Amino acid sequence: MSTSPDPTKLRRLARRLRLAVDVSAGVLIIITALAVSLPASMGAITIHLRGNGLPRGWAAALEVLIALLLLAGLVELHRMFNHVARGATFTQVVTRHFRRFALLLTVAAASNIVLPWLVQVWLGHVAGGDATLSLRLDDLLPLFFAGLFYFVAEAFDQAAAFETDSKAFV
């Protein structure tokens, strides 16, 4: 029984994953649009924008900004899977898109923590009050995993560069 990789299966998987990324991007757009445009409560349905106590307008603006960062990351992931579906597997182009995805995911996760606090500080300064930074574990876990993705992407990028250099010597 052979255990060698099958490029056809990899291309098929990349196409499926690209479709999953596209569906995820669409769901992200729909959920964000509904969350910021619908009233906070509609009978049995409640839409809660997590803005750490910010006024709804500010919370909505931050949610849109973070969703745009996530969407940009998903575009990079789509591009990566597009290259893999066409046969590129471990090239610098592929790893560069993965690194950009991971970077945008890290920036979105950090923004989700820092931006509400910065707006609270600014609004508190304008109103003459104080702002407190409250962190929960569920705030930090996405940042941890996004950062981990970024470092894995960096390692992949370095390995792809090394592979390209090695092939040039042969």
pLDDT, tens digit (0-9, with 9 covering 90-100), for 18-76: 999 999 999 999 989 988 887 766 655 556 666 667 888 888 899 999 999 999 999 99
- pLDDT of 77 reads 95
Residue 2 in domain: no
Per-position DSSP letters for 83-106, written without gaps between them:
HHHTT--S-HHHHHHHHHHHHHHH
pLDDT for 52 = 65
CA distance 58 to 148: 30
Q: Looking at the domain assignment, is residue 106 inside a domain?
A: yes
Q: What pLDDT is stored for residue 2 in this prediction?
A: 52
Is the residue at 39 inside a domain? yes
Residue 1, domain member (yes or no): no
Domain range spanning residue 158? 7-169
- What is the CB-side half-sphere exposure of residue 73 using CA atoms within 13 A? 21
Q: Provide the pairing of β-strand 45-46 with 41-42.
A: antiparallel
Within a domain: residue 108? Answer: yes
Contacts of 65 (CB under 8 A, 6+ apart): 111, 115
| pLDDT tens by residue, 81-136 | 999 999 888 788 898 999 999 999 999 999 988 888 888 888 877 777 666 667 77
pLDDT confidence of residue 44: 59
**pLDDT for the residue numbered 137:** 81
Tally of structural domains, the chain: 1
C-alpha Rg value of the chain to the nearest Å = 20
- Greatest alpha-carbon pair distance for the chain in Å reads 73
